[in-house]
Amino acid sequence: MLKSHSKLAVVGLIGALFAPLATQAATYSQSKTANFDVTMKIVADCTIAANSMDFGQNQGVLSAAVTANSTINVTCTNTTPYNVGLNAGTGTGSSGTNRYLSGTGANTGTVRFNLFQSPGSGLWGNTQGTDTMSGVGNGNLQTLTVYGEIPVQTTPAPDSYKSTVTATVYF
């Protein structure tokens, strides 16, 4: 029977014999290769986000036109043609490009407003090829400005007036 210090000596001797094999990397003289494809498909796509438009929170008599601007952010894949349309909004009596802000609660008053693609241009609507704004994506965010105007009109009762307009990107 081996004594414990003899056992350690044997284990150390075996370890010393195999240590060079364990620490040396294997070297081979032949190799074969294989190729593999890495793929992805980009499809035409767009995203859209819109910012609110505020004509002011302390407006008095509507004896002069009131203007405001907003922006719509569109991002489309490179070379993708698109159109951005604006619906009539949720104001009472709104239809096509005739838009109204509505009063709250029992107030049935309205305030007429217009949305344009540029100052002095035609009204911005939602009929593709007629009154939408067209563009071509470049893969980056593109900012479109919406020009708003409240024309001179009979001033309704004091209240908060609102309409929610939906911007749509067609591609």
Say if residue 4's pLDDT is above 60: no
Distance CA 136, CA 21 (A): 64
Residue 112 pairs in a beta bridge with 100
Predicted confidence band of residue 25 (pLDDT cuts 50, 70, 90): confident
Whether this model's pTM surpasses 0.85: no
Domain 46-170 has CATH 3.40.50.11440: no
Contact 58, 160 (CB under 8 A): no
Say if residue 14's pLDDT is above 60: no
Mean pLDDT of the chain: 91
User: Which positions ≥6 away from 65 have C-beta within 8 Å?
Assistant: 149, 150, 151, 152
- Per-residue pLDDT tens for 70-108? 999 999 999 999 999 999 999 999 999 999 999 999 999
Output helix, strand, coil percentages for the chain, rounded to the nearest 5.
10, 30, 55
Say if residue 13's pLDDT is above 50: no
Q: Is 22 left (phi over 0), alpha (psi -120 to 50) or beta?
A: alpha
Q: Record the tokens describing residue 141, joined without a space.
A: 């965010």
Other C-beta atoms closer than 10 Å to the C-beta of 133 total 20
Residue 115 pairs in a beta bridge with 148
Distance CA 153, CA 108 (A): 16
